[in-house]
Structure 1
């Protein structure tokens, strides 16, 4: 099967979680396509990007930075993520360096990033870790669909268009 079934999570029945990593070139390459696809989800469904968060300093800081940007200016989150991918993957900046995130926020035009950072609770960073474990995510990007299914680009041999088609099919299957 080109998907993996996981124990059902009824609270996520109309959600699609996209687990991504700022250090993953595949996540960077798929991010815009997944975001665009998410805009076409059926009424009542929502796409939520989830930074991979492990009990490691660098992923905790990256996750906190993502949520800080969301608090500060959610309309500019895709610009922030794009800037972060570029800074980390192309310019070699580190995920655990505050300058990386300040620079990504500046590049995205987010002016209240520091205020957003202060609003991020420890629970906001803990939930992505719990979701990662619940869905047994082992590759990025991974889509957890309808609280029941997980797919990755590996399921379509890296074919981005086929991956998006599979994602749509899995939403339909979840309905």
Structure 2
């Protein structure tokens, strides 16, 4: 970026042009995915939210996500995807998919609250199981699901998706297998939501 900036100045001076006559192009508020990724939900456009429970930005954007997702058009499926940037984060991936399997995603926001507001160290299986039991979940049912083949398979798929979409930060949104946007692209949390919504509508309008 800096090299391009100074090169443009030098070119402008050499041609006797003002800097204003050679504006610097703005970066796009999204990345294009190449190759296009297939949907895991046949016949549906998928919007994937890559998140991590340990990420404070994911906690901050969560209320905006909760407000936005019910407004998504028919034919669009929203799926959170827990990301592990290292092996120590895998148990938190398993926590999300265990809550999903037990039909207790009403506790999704509570996990963010426990980690970031109550400063609970929900990083290892034992602490996670104790926390889940304290929320009223059956301890043995939680353990069995947490360690199940189904949850392990979902974690493996989450890792595959993060790799396929080149996710290196959270929160990030993948839209229709074609685009990725995030607050780092747009500058604000709401900007990322708005850009994701715009891309959804663009894909629907173009029949992509």
For the aligned pair, the TM-score class normalised by the smaller chain equals 0.7 to 0.9
State the 1:81 CA deviation. Answer: 2.2
Bigger relative contact order, structure 1 or 2 (CA pairs below 8 A, ≥6 apart): 1
The answer on whether the counterparts of 1:10 and 1:147 sit within 8 Å (CA) in structure 2 is yes
Structure 2, gaps ≥5 residues long = 1-27
- The equivalent position to 1:4 in structure 2, one of 27, 31, 47, is 31
- The equivalent position to 1:137 in structure 2, one of 167, 174, 179, is 167
- Counting only pairs closer than 5 Å after superposition, residues 41-52 of structure 1 correspond to structure 2 as 41-52=72-83
Could you say what the CA RMSD is over the residues aligned between the two structures, in angstroms?
Answer: 2.0
Query: 2:50 is paired with a residue of what secondary structure?
Result: strand
Q: Quick one: distance in 2 between partners of 1:94 and 1:153?
A: 26
Structure 1, gaps ≥5 residues long = none
- The equivalent position to 2:95 in structure 1, one of 45, 65, 69, is 65
The answer on whether the counterparts of 1:69 and 1:105 sit within 8 Å (CA) in structure 2 is no
Cα distance per residue 1:115-160 (max 9 Å; x no partner): 43244343211100000000001111000000000001112212x3
Match of 2:194 in 1: 165
- TM-score between the two structures when normalised by the length of structure 1: 0.85
- Aligned pair count reads 169
Match of 2:55 in 1: 24
The structure whose Rg is larger is: 2
Match of 1:89 in 2: 116
Cα distance per residue 1:10-48 (max 9 Å; x no partner): 325600000001111000011121132111111011100
Change (3 A) 1:104 1:33: farther
